[in-house]
Structure 1
């Protein structure tokens, strides 16, 4: 089982604290809240309860959660690592609708980047819907660069942009 990520760098910790956001590794007792957050955050392409359960127990996945207290999840992130690869993949980043614009995505993204670096990844990749302007702004603001486009990537036929960040 992967170890808990160390604390965020001071600047990111300060920003997250100002927003009242704490990021930690998810545990099995978060499962109901993760599924509920997934349902509230996405209209389609959702992770199932079984998928979350599998990722929580996987050495090749890291599930992080953001909360303002220990009971209310404001966001989550799922990060994948492939054995023998220096590329990590941010598979999902969800922010509760009522928490958007409050630093939750920023805190989760900072924790994801830190975790990928600690695992020795040299790059972090992700896909995002071409119509998700808020997520695109978040990724670009944090140093991700557009590297491609996938036609009909999502289950509803929407296209995706591919983004990448070199980790140094």
Structure 2
């Protein structure tokens, strides 16, 4: 009988998580966040950097921006360790980002995703996100981005 993996714990990222965040970031090609950027986001009152921890190790993170004076939150980045895929961590981090945005009184969450990232696009669609457009040549390798949005109050974005 296969043993189930223990549930992930979601929490605010801490400066001591920087090394683990950089390890996660290095697992993905291109457009990586630098140590300086992570440090700035950790200290920013308008950013929510949350991590999923499993068995004492970082298994994923989500970075949410909450611009002052705006009713829209932006999911800037979400990453899950490839070895942890299929365990629902992406959905867990996404739901947590939505909760963070609602708690900050934002009525909509928007994000961009690589147009070739089928798994992430499927995750967003399952969670009720609607495609709002395409941004040509968005990523450093020339890949287009798809913009998605979701109203957090139940109305259409």
Aligned to 1:67: 53
Normalised TM-score (structure 1) = 0.87
Equivalent position to 1:139, from 120, 124, 134:
124
Structure 1 residue aligned with 2:42, among 50, 53, 56? 56
Structure 1 contact 19–103 (Cα < 8 Å) conserved: no
CA contact (8 A) 1:81 1:89 kept: yes
Q: State the distance in 1 between where 2:92 and 2:152 align.
A: 17
**What does the per-residue CA deviation read over 1:108-144, in whole Å, with 9 as the maximum and x for residues that have no partner?**
0010000000000010000000100000010110011
* Separation (CA, whole Å) in 2 of partners of 1:73 and 1:98: 11
Q: Which runs of 4+ in 1 moved over 3 A?
A: none
Q: Which runs of 5 or more structure 2 residues have no equivalent in the other structure?
A: none
- Superposition TM-score, scaled by structure 2 size: 0.93
Residue 152 of structure 1 corresponds to which residue in structure 2?
A: 137
